[in-house]
């Protein structure tokens, strides 16, 4: 009954920042191939590659101009084939990033589409006449500014939910859909093992594209409530499932912002009619700003009560029905140890990184580890806007500070230090040599200055490192079925505890009791433990029973 991907662990690689093999400052495919043994040593089963396709890199590869070609900065198709072959030899699967809500404006479909209203590719994108001398509706782009770009060539506007260089594909057009399925089959024929689908729940837009609700502080309306989980999305995904996924043994993950548990049960139903699992964002929104115009730009830590309530809701709602991804980090999120943990001292960095790893890896779902998470890489805390590369951080600064004057420079820089996507994109820290062993050339994105202390070499040399702790958690997922199939319950009375998170996982022969201290205080709690309970894993060398030390994590098995 269980599927292989239900007890698999996925490791995400951001190609530009993993390993540079030719010293041009940009990570590449050969570099990844060189480091596959490291991923294997950690114990992961699947490697998720962020986009490696040909792209003008306006949004770091999430703007694709040719789905069947490799970005020359990353190498060529031979390099890709070599990566795939070596991965398979090691028993690692490769999951590709599939970005098909939009293409790059340099894609040949869009180049054709622009040319005229009767071009055969016109309907590959979403073109509309303007309204009252302006855009067709009031939607804003997720990267600031309007979601419509005027094109004088044909005197119409095209829709772009992200950058103007990322026009949205028109999924109403069956030719678009079948072009995408053909492309997916082409990669599957090459031997890739599956797809992570970028904002896949945005592909069905509402009929007539109505205005969205606008908060008074916002320059444009947030289209998300209208474009997420649109009326035809499940129909499209079932069609894709029939055309591609069901014919092969492919892993499929839907990146689905703004998805409810009810919707998730459709996307990721265990009947396999659409996708294997959702990758949802609710727990990533718990530390956002109370002002919707500021969105995630804020500087507060999520409370344990909110975090636990959210994780618990998803554990309960999907159990036995659908499947979720478990993650703290990806290429869009700040580093978890800086966000939900404590990177102020070396001791607390290590303790809290292990505590958070325990919280995640003891839940039901498929865990993801984002490069560097397994050594406790932290946010970069770059103080100047010039140090940031991400289009989203830079645009947001200008909109919020210069145009809207919602907060001052100092406050916004603090928010950016905490939430910029660049925090995830600083190069991987391999050792303490120049540029952390990532490259001999100045990297495309600045190094996190703490690489001399925090790096892979150091972690591999220390038997108590975060790396080896992750290695153990992964091994438990592979060897202890209760982690995959056990029921989840909060320990009675834990619901309102503001400092300790305690839950159990239980199947017919095993119970795990997980106790986690979210704070740096020493606390005391009583738990009923059977006499045969033994510690499975902990981030302290000994067990002090009811005394629970700063950021302590312990798992009892009985």
Q: Three-state secondary structure along 335-379?
A: CHHHHCCCCCCHHHHHHHHHHHHHHHHCCCCEEEEECCHHHCCCC
Q: Do the beta carbons of residue 511 and residue 557 sit within 8 Å?
A: yes
User: Which CA distances in Å does 492 have to 12, 217, 501, 504, 528?
Assistant: 36, 43, 11, 10, 11
* Residue 168 contacts which entry, Ca ion, ligand ISL, none (Cβ below 5-8 A, type-dependent): none
Q: Is 328 in the site for ligand ISL (CB under 6 A)?
A: no
In the bound complex, what is the minimum distance in angstroms from residue 443's beta carbon to ligand ISL? 19
Q: Is 84 in the site for ligand ISL (CB under 6 A)?
A: no
Helix (H, G, I), strand (E, B) or coil at 259: coil
Applying CB under 5 A, the span of 20-28, 34-42, 220-228, 255-263 interacting with Ca ion comes to 20-28
In the bound complex, what is the minimum distance in angstroms from residue 266's beta carbon to Ca ion? 41
Which residue in the set 8, 13, 16, 26 belongs to the binding site for Ca ion (CB under 5 A)?
26
Q: Do the beta carbons of residue 537 and residue 473 sit within 8 Å?
A: yes
Dihedral angle over CA of 456, 460, 463, 464, nearest 10: 10
Q: Do the beta carbons of residue 17 and residue 290 sit within 8 Å?
A: no
Which pair of structure tokens corresponds to residue 114? 């622009």
Strands 156-159 and 148-151: antiparallel
399: Cβ–Cβ under 8 A, 6 or more apart, which residues? Answer: 144, 145, 219
Q: What are phi and psi of 69, to 5 degrees?
A: -130, 155
Q: Is 22 in the site for Ca ion (CB under 5 A)?
A: yes
Q: Is 240 in the site for ligand ISL (CB under 6 A)?
A: no
Q: Is 274 a catalytic residue?
A: no
Please give the Cα distance from 434 to 327 (Å, whole number): 31
Considering beta carbons, is residue 62 or 124 the nearer one to ligand ISL? 62
* Residue 22 contacts which entry, Ca ion, ligand ISL, none (Cβ below 5-8 A, type-dependent): Ca ion
Dihedral angle over CA of 134, 138, 143, 148, nearest 10: -40
Considering beta carbons, is residue 20 or 198 the nearer one to Ca ion? 20
Applying CB under 5 A, the span of 18-26, 182-190, 412-420, 541-549 interacting with Ca ion comes to 18-26
Q: Is 392 in the site for Ca ion (CB under 5 A)?
A: no
Q: Is 255 a catalytic residue?
A: yes
Q: Is 127 in the site for ligand ISL (CB under 6 A)?
A: no
Q: Is 28 in the site for Ca ion (CB under 5 A)?
A: yes
Applying CB under 5 A, the span of 26-34, 76-84, 398-406, 452-460 interacting with Ca ion comes to 26-34
Which residue in the set 53, 62, 110, 323 belongs to the binding site for ligand ISL (CB under 6 A)?
62
Could you say which of 198, 392, 417, 422 is catalytic? 198
Please give the Cα distance from 311 to 140 (Å, whole number): 30
CB count within 10 Å of CB 106 equals 16
Could you say which of 20, 255, 343, 374 is catalytic? 255
Applying CB under 5 A, the span of 28-36, 166-174, 335-343, 366-374 interacting with Ca ion comes to 28-36
Q: Is the C-alpha dihedral spanning 519, 521, 523, 529 positive or negative?
A: positive
Q: Is 334 in the site for ligand ISL (CB under 6 A)?
A: no
Please give the Cα distance from 396 to 144 (Å, whole number): 6
Which residue in the set 49, 83, 199, 253 belongs to the binding site for ligand ISL (CB under 6 A)?
199
Considering beta carbons, is residue 362 or 380 the nearer one to ligand ISL? 380
Site string for ligand ISL, 160-189 (x = CB under 6 A): --x---------------------------
* Residue 274 contacts which entry, ligand ISL, Ca ion, none (Cβ below 5-8 A, type-dependent): none
Which residue in the set 43, 254, 257, 486 belongs to the binding site for ligand ISL (CB under 6 A)?
257
Interacting residue ranges for Ca ion, rule: CB under 5 A: 20, 22, 24, 26, 28
Interacting residue ranges for ligand ISL, rule: CB under 6 A: 59, 62, 99, 142, 162, 198-199, 257, 331-332, 392, 421
List active site positions.
198, 255
């Amino acid at each position: 009954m269980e599927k292989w991907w239900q007890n698999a662990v996925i490791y995400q690689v951001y190609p530009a920042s993993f390993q540079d093999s030719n010293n041009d400052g940009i990570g590449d495919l050969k570099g990844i191939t060189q480091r596959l043994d490291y991923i294997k040593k950690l114990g992961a089963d699947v490697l998720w590659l962020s986009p490696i396709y040909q792209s003008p890199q306006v949004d770091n590869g999430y703007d694709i101009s040719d789905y069947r070609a490799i970005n020359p900065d990353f190498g060529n198709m031979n390099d890709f084939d070599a990566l795939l072959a070596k991965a398979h030899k090691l028993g690692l699967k490769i999951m590709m990033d599939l970005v098909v809500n939009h293409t790059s404006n340099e894609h040949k479909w869009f180049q054709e589409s622009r040319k005229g209203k009767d071009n055969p590719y016109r309907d590959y994108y979403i073109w509309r006449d303007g309204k009252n001398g302006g855009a067709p509706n009031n939607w804003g782009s997720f990267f600031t500014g309007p979601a419509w770009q005027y094109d004088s060539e044909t005197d119409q506007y095209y829709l772009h939910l992200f950058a103007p260089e990322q026009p949205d594909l028109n999924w109403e057009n069956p030719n678009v859909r079948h072009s995408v399925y053909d492309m997916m089959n082409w990669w599957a024929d090459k031997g890739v093992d599956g797809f992570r689908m970028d904002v896949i729940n945005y592909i069905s837009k509402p009929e007539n594209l109505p205005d969205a609700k606008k908060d008074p502080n916002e320059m444009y309306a947030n289209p998300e409530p209208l474009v997420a989980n649109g009326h035809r999305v499940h129909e499209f995904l079932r069609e894709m499932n029939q055309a591609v996924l069901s014919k092969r043994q492919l892993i499929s993950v839907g990146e689905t912002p703004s998805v409810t548990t009810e919707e998730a049960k459709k996307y990721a139903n265990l009947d396999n009619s659409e996708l294997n699992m959702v990758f949802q964002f609710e727990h990533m929104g718990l530390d956002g700003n109370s002002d919707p115009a500021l969105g995630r730009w804020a500087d507060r830590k999520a409370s344990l009560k909110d975090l636990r309530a959210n994780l618990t809701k998803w554990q309960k709602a999907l159990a036995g029905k659908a499947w979720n991804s478990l993650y703290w980090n990806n290429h869009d999120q700040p580093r978890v140890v800086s966000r939900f943990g404590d990177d102020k001292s070396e001791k607390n960095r290590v303790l809290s990184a292990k505590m958070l790893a325990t919280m995640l890896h003891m839940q039901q779902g498929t865990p993801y580890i984002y490069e560097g998470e397994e050594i406790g890489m932290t946010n970069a805390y770059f103080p100047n806007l010039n140090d940031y590369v991400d289009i989203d951080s830079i645009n947001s600064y200008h909109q919020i500070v210069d145009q809207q004057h919602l907060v001052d420079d100092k406050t916004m820089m603090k928010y950016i230090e905490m939430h910029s996507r660049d925090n995830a994109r600083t190069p991987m820290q391999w050792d303490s040599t120049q540029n952390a062993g990532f490259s001999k050339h100045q990297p495309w994105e600045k190094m996190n200055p703490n690489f001399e202390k925090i790096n892979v070499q150091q972690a591999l040399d220390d038997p108590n490192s975060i790396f080896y702790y992750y290695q153990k958690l992964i091994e438990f997922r592979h060897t202890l079925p209760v982690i995959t199939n056990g029921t989840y319950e909060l320990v009675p009375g834990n619901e309102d505890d503001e400092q300790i998170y305690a839950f159990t996982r239980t199947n017919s022969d095993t119970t795990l009791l997980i106790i986690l201290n979210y704070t740096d205080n020493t606390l005391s709690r009583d738990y009923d433990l059977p006499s045969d309970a033994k510690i499975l894993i902990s981030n302290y060398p000994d067990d002090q029973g009811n005394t629970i030390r700063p950021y302590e994590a312990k798992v009892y098995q009985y």
